[in-house]
Structures are given as structure tokens and as C-alpha cells.
Amino acid sequence: MTSCNKLILIGFMASGKSAVAAALAPRLGFEMIQVDEQIVARSNLPSIPIIFAEKGEPYFRDLEAEVSSSLRDAHNLVISTGGGIITRPENMINLKDNGGIVVYLRTSFETVAERAGDLSSRPLFANKANALDLYKSRLPIYERYADIIVDTDGRSIDEVCSAILAQLR
Ligand code: S3P
């Protein structure tokens, strides 16, 4: 297997990053970490929607950058990122440092809109038209940062994990 210290899952909201990270980590003998959870823990606020509402998106992005930087030297980790991690290039530099491999979970907008479920938990998905604009603008950025691209439409979590492992070998 390619030498890999950290596997970084990127992709649009509701592309399955957290579920894939949780299923993949034990298959690699790695731990799993969610950037969003670390952000909430650092904020002293109860949730992401509340961080956005009370402190605004720039504050959220600053915490996201802090968490990314704290993971620079991490190893044996599968990292589930938030969909906007790619909006600051230094986040990707920090995450990729020390043997990080970036996996883009490529998912159609139709599928993420179906999977998004409770939209109140994702402030940037509250309006579907705005979310589509965001999706279109981010797609080429995810592709640019990806070392590995795995399509997730119509695939189970297990199938996505197997596709990632096959590409890592
Ligand atoms: C965001 C995605 C969310 C969360 C925040 C902002 C984004 O994470 O970090 O709401 O900018 O795309 P998920 O991708 O896990 O939904």
C-alpha cells in the first residue's frame, strides 16, 4: 500500500465523508477524526449552526484553519473534513503535510440534495439554489486537490471504502 500517514476526505456537504471515515478507519488500523467536531469543541458553543448564527462564517473558518493546522503532524488518522475546508489553501497544505493523501468523494448535486436531510444542521445548505451555486464553484477545487477521486453516487459506504482502498494499493 502507498505510504500514507493520514487520509483526508474532502467533498461537498452530505457526500458521506464522516460515514466513510468511520467505516474506513478500522480497515486501515487508523483512528478517525472529524474537523467539524473539533471546531465545535474549540468554539465553546453547542453546534455549527449556532457558531454561524452567533459568530459568523469568518469565525468558523478561522477555527477550521486552526484545527487543520493542529493536524499537520498527525499520523494514522482518517480525517473527515467539512465541505468548505478547500476554501483556504493553507488548510490543504497543513492537512497534506507529513504524508497526507486527499480523497475526494465526488457526488452529484442531486445525490447530496437527497442525502442532506435535516437542512437546519448545515447553514450553507439552507437554500438549495445557493447550495447549487456553491457546489458548482467548489467542484473544480475538490478535483484539483484530490490525489484520489471516488464517485459515491449509487454506492454503499462499504463500496466507497473498498474503492478507496483499491486506489491506495
Ligand atoms: C460546510 C460544511 C459543513 C460544515 C459547515 C460548512 C461547508 O460540513 O463544516 O456547515 O462550507 O461546506 P459537512 O461537509 O460535513 O456538511
**In the prediction, which pLDDT does 115 show?**
85
Q: How many domains does the chain have?
A: 1
**Best substitution site from 10, 36, 79, 120 to test ligand 1's pocket, by max atoms within 8 Å of Cβ?**
36
* Atom number in ligand 1 closest to CA 64: 9
Q: Is 1 within the bounds of a domain? A: no
Residue nearest to atom 15 of ligand 1 (CA): 82
CB of 16 shorter than 6 A to ligand 1: no
The residue segments making up the domain with residue 145 are: 6-168
CB 108, CB 12: distance < 8 Å: no
Q: What is the CATH number of the domain that holds 89?
A: 3.40.50.300
* Atom number in ligand 1 closest to CA 80: 15
CB of 36 shorter than 6 A to ligand 1: yes
Q: Is 134 within the bounds of a domain? A: yes
Predicted TM-score (pTM) of this structure? 0.96
Per-residue pLDDT reduced to its tens digit, 82-133? 999 999 999 999 999 999 999 999 999 999 998 877 667 888 998 889 999 9
Residues 14, 92: Cα–Cα separation, whole Å: 20
- At residue 3 the predicted structure's pLDDT band, cuts being 50, 70 and 90, is low
